Amino acid sequence: MAANDRIQVASIGFGIMGHGDAQTASSVAGVKMVAVSDVYDGRMTRFREMFGKDCFCSRDYREILARKDVDAVIIATPDHWHDRIAIDAMNAGKDLYVQKPMVQKVEYGHPVIDTWKKTGRILQVGSQRVSSLMYIKARDLVRAGAIGEVNVVDAHIDRNSALGAWQYPIPPDASPRTIDWDRFLGRAPKKDFDPIRLFRWRNYQDYGTGIPGDLFVHQFTAIHFVMDSIGPTRISASGGLHFWKDGRDVPDVMLGMFDYPKTDAHPEFHVVLRVNFVAGQNSQQFRFVGTEGILTFGGDGLILSKRPRETEPGYQVESFSKAMQDAYIGKYREKYPLQTPNADAMRPMTDEKFPLDGRDAQRAHHVNFIEAVRSRKPVVEDAIFGLRAAAPAVLANTSYFERRPVNWDPVAMKQI
């Protein structure tokens, strides 16, 4: 690797996802992690343990952006900081990998897009399904008409664990001495010091986006990629707080329904999503349902299931008079003769399996980002893609809390 091919990366935010992203990025050829910013001192200590004691550390992310030895940054902060840091990073000449959702609120999206267009920086959102060969295969199958016209996409994620419900551990040394509390709050409402709000920030509307911003957004990323779609026009959500009554102000069970309009790329279709943190088991499934078959994503890969359509319509004539029943059935059997049941006459169900390819989609996503930093070629999950995936997720929260459907213009990317 030539010296001028090396990409030096900094992490802004080094919590669970920041730690994972930095570790993955550092495994890509030619990448060196050189700096970190976090509001908790212990995370910066951990960064140096992983990547070297000479790494630069600061509570103030702006000191990271001012460094000439930083080529790109990973933004893995709580959601309410994503847009501000992304804009500052691009204006400082840095390329960025920003965790999903790209923005906490819809109105924060266009300033990010405007800055991205103005600066010409590489911006990739960190929802890795667009870099998964399994989803690339699914897109090819849908485009080829393998399951006919898609009319429904449904997905569920059921969790039965405390960590799965965002009950993350609090470090024993968490205190005003080790944490820059005011910097964490940022634009959020002022609160007295409370480490639970920092280390379990997904539980609070002030800093996170709840279930939709954490999990629905992955499904939207995949749906938009596989279907060549730009988003729904109608959004409706329901749910409630059933078990995790630990001070959080977001639901632990959430359901969403999303209507996608007909376009040149696809017919009208509908999306149904469910996430349950109070489930009796851990399970998840993701399906694209078409007129000729179903694509199902599972733990062992992708399955294409097809069954021939029924050719005999059947009848129900019990409410007719006996004479009319006999007349109707007689004519019906002239057109559809009665078949003797046998094994050969059964409609065959065919399954074609595409097993997991063994490639780490998370790593592939970072590889794609680094390649774009080097080549300056566009990425799939750019700022426009990022807002179109984030919007239906965060607007699901609007629907839930305001108890009403929400209309969205996916072309103009504005709430109606």
Query: Of 127, 149, 165, which closes a domain?
Result: 127
Backbone angles phi, psi at 257, to 5 degrees: -125, 135
Owner of token pair 């694509």 = 295
Structural domain range at position 186: 130-309+348-360+382-415
Which of 109, 127, 145 lies at the terminal end of a domain, its last residue? 127
Q: Quick one: 45 exposed, middle or buried, by C-beta within 10 A (0-12, 13-18, 19+)?
A: middle
Q: Beta 234-240 vs 253-260: how paired, if at all? A: antiparallel
Same domain, 56 and 181: no
* pLDDT less than 50: residues of the chain: 1-2
What's the pLDDT at 4?
63
The answer on 167 and 103 residing in a single domain is: no
Does residue 178 sit within a domain? yes
Burial class (CB in 10 A: 0-12, 13-18, 19+), 229: buried
> What predicted TM-score, i.e. pTM, was given to this entire model?
0.93
The pLDDT assigned to 345 comes to: 59
CB under 8 Å to 177, separation ≥6 — which residues? Answer: none
Q: Which two tokens stand for residue 406?
A: 């929400």
- Three-state SS at 408: strand
Predicted pLDDT of residue 310: 78
Q: In this structure, what CATH number is given to the domain that contains residue 39?
A: 3.40.50.720
Distance between CA atoms of 83 and 109, rounded to whole angstroms?
A: 7
Residues 6+ apart with CB under 8 A from 52: none
- What is the Rg, in whole angstroms, of the alpha carbon atoms belonging to the chain? 25
Q: Over the stretch 21-74, which tens digit does the pLDDT of each residue have?
A: 999 999 999 999 999 999 999 999 999 999 999 999 999 999 999 999 999 999
pLDDT at 347: 60
Per the structure, how many domains does the chain have?
A: 2
- Start-to-end CA distance of the chain, whole Å, equals 50
Residue 182 lies in a domain: yes
The per-residue pLDDT for 344 is 63
The CATH number linked to 272 is 3.30.360.10
Output the pLDDT for position 1: 45
Has residue 370 been placed in a domain? no
Say yes or no: 104 and 160 in one domain: no
